[in-house]
């Protein structure tokens, strides 16, 4: 347990939506550090021994549970909540799934698929992806957010101006995130912890893995942010850069079409040159490959590139 933490919130204190009407699980003062017990995106649905058939029984009413909310004393609309990530405490087990109808290439991969991961939670050494590679790990939380001002309950699936399902893989230890406050007390929650994810989260899942998180909540009065922003403590890709990249591109007048083309071409490359089954390549790209917008000025065609780190297959 965190000896420097002022509070602990246990896993039982979680919700499956965002709402300004949820009763706080905790009240804290600005500057206090909190230990959160988080759940994985499937609310513990997948376990060692689970198979692709278990994807069909995943309850979408219980995905992405968020632990909280925390009422931060003095937080008012117009302020920003400053979240400093202190520590991630992983469980050592995770999963990546292709869920029919969900993900960038849902039309190309209509069948359920599941990959289970085990890893060393103390060293966070690269995790095996069968005989074909090892994925460097980088723990973070996909869901980090505050209650929106709009009344009622709001889905945890899309991100919003106040945060939520951001899926920004650089929100790791040492990073500071700023979120605009829309309701009194901010009502902060966190969950959907990941052991690794590529930029883009292509198939809709990362290495989904239950973890505990320690973070400090503080206030910036009168910040008037319009959307989330964050600061990293240093380089963000050193865990992947060591052996360079293979990159494929998509181009045309529509960025989403170009994105799909860049990813599809990388799947084809991994299948042709490394013998990966296309669905396995798709899952692998979701946890360690990066989408980048390379050019949006040379109209009428824009370029999206997909970077796959060669260190995964060395």
Q: Which residue has the tokens 């400093």?
A: 84
pLDDT at 314: 85
- Find the helix packing angle between 255-274 and 278-288, rounded to 10°: 120
Q: Using alpha carbons, list the distances in angstroms from residue 254 to 5, 36, 249, 261.
A: 48, 41, 13, 11
What is the DSSP-derived secondary structure letter of residue 23? P
Task: Please name which of 84, 88, 77, 89 lies closest in space to residue 230, comparing C-alpha atoms.
Answer: 84
- Six token digits for residue 21: 């009407």
Query: Beta 176-180 vs 211-220: how paired, if at all?
Result: unpaired
CATH superfamily of 238-313: Acetamidase/Formamidase-like domains (3.10.28.20)
pLDDT at 132: 81
Q: What CA–CA distance (Å, rounded) separates 70 from 86?
A: 17
Are 264 and 270 in contact by the 8 Å Cβ rule? The answer is: no
Give CA torsion, residues 292, 297, 298, 299, to 10 deg: 110
- 7-230 and 238-313 agree in CATH topology: no
Are 34 and 7 in contact by the 8 Å Cβ rule? The answer is: yes
**In this structure, which CATH number among 3.90.1150.10, 3.60.15.10, 2.60.120.580, 2.40.40.20 belongs to the domain 7-230?**
2.60.120.580
Q: What CA–CA distance (Å, rounded) separates 23 from 16?
A: 14
Question: In DSSP terms, which residues pair with 93 in a beta bridge?
Answer: 118
pLDDT at 229: 98
Q: What CA–CA distance (Å, rounded) separates 167 from 243?
A: 25
Residues 266-286: pLDDT tens digits? 999 999 999 999 999 999 999
Are 190 and 215 in contact by the 8 Å Cβ rule? The answer is: yes
Domains of the chain, by residue range, sit at: 7-230, 238-313
Where helices occur in the chain by DSSP H, the ranges are: 238-241, 255-274, 278-288
Query: Beta 66-72 vs 26-28: how paired, if at all?
Result: parallel
Residues 84-95: pLDDT tens digits? 999 999 999 999
Question: Based on the number of CB atoms within 10 Å of its own CB, is 54 exposed (0-12), middle (13-18) or buried (19 or more)?
Answer: middle
pLDDT at 1: 61
Q: How many helices (H) and strands (E) does the chain have?
A: 3, 20
Q: What CA–CA distance (Å, rounded) separates 286 from 273?
A: 19
Q: What is the mean pLDDT of each run of 10 residues along the chain (314 residues)?
A: 87 98 98 98 98 97 97 98 98 98 97 98 95 94 98 97 98 98 98 98 98 98 98 96 97 97 98 96 98 97 98 93
With H, G, I as helix, E, B as strand and everything else as coil, classify residue 109: coil
């Amino acid at each position: 347990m965190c000896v420097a933490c002022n509070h602990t919130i246990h896993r039982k204190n979680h919700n499956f939506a965002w709402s300004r009407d949820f009763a706080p699980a905790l009240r804290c003062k600005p500057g206090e550090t909190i230990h959160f017990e988080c759940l994985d995106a499937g609310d513990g649905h997948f376990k060692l021994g689970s198979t692709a058939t278990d994807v069909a029984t995943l309850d979408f009413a219980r995905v992405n549970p968020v632990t909280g909310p925390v009422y931060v004393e003095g937080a008012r609309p117009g302020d920003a909540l400053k979240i400093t990530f202190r520590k991630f405490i992983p469980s050592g087990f995770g999963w990546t799934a292709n869920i029919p109808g969900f993900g960038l290439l849902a039309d190309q991969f209509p069948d359920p698929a599941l990959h289970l991961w085990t890893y060393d939670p103390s060293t966070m050494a690269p995790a095996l992806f069968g005989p074909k590679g090892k994925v460097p790990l980088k723990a973070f939380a996909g869901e980090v957010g505050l209650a929106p001002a709009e009344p009622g309950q709001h889905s945890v699936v899309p991100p919003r101006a106040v945060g939520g399902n951001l899926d920004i893989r650089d929100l790791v230890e040492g990073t500071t995130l700023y979120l605009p406050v829309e309701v009194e007390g901010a009502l902060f929650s966190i969950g959907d912890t990941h052991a690794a994810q590529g930029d883009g989260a292509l198939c809709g899942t990362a290495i989904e893995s239950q973890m505990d998180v320690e973070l400090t909540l503080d206030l910036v009065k009168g910040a008037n942010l319009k959307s989330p922003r964050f600061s990293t403590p240093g380089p963000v890709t050193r865990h992947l850069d060591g052996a360079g990249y293979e990159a494929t591109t998509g181009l045309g007048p529509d960025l989403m079409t170009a994105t799909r083309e860049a990813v599809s071409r990388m799947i084809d490359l991994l299948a042709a040159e490394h013998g990966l089954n296309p669905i396995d390549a798709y899952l692998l790209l979701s946890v360690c490959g990066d989408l980048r917008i390379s050019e949006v000025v040379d109209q009428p065609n824009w370029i999206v590139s997909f970077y796959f780190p060669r260190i995964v297959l060395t």
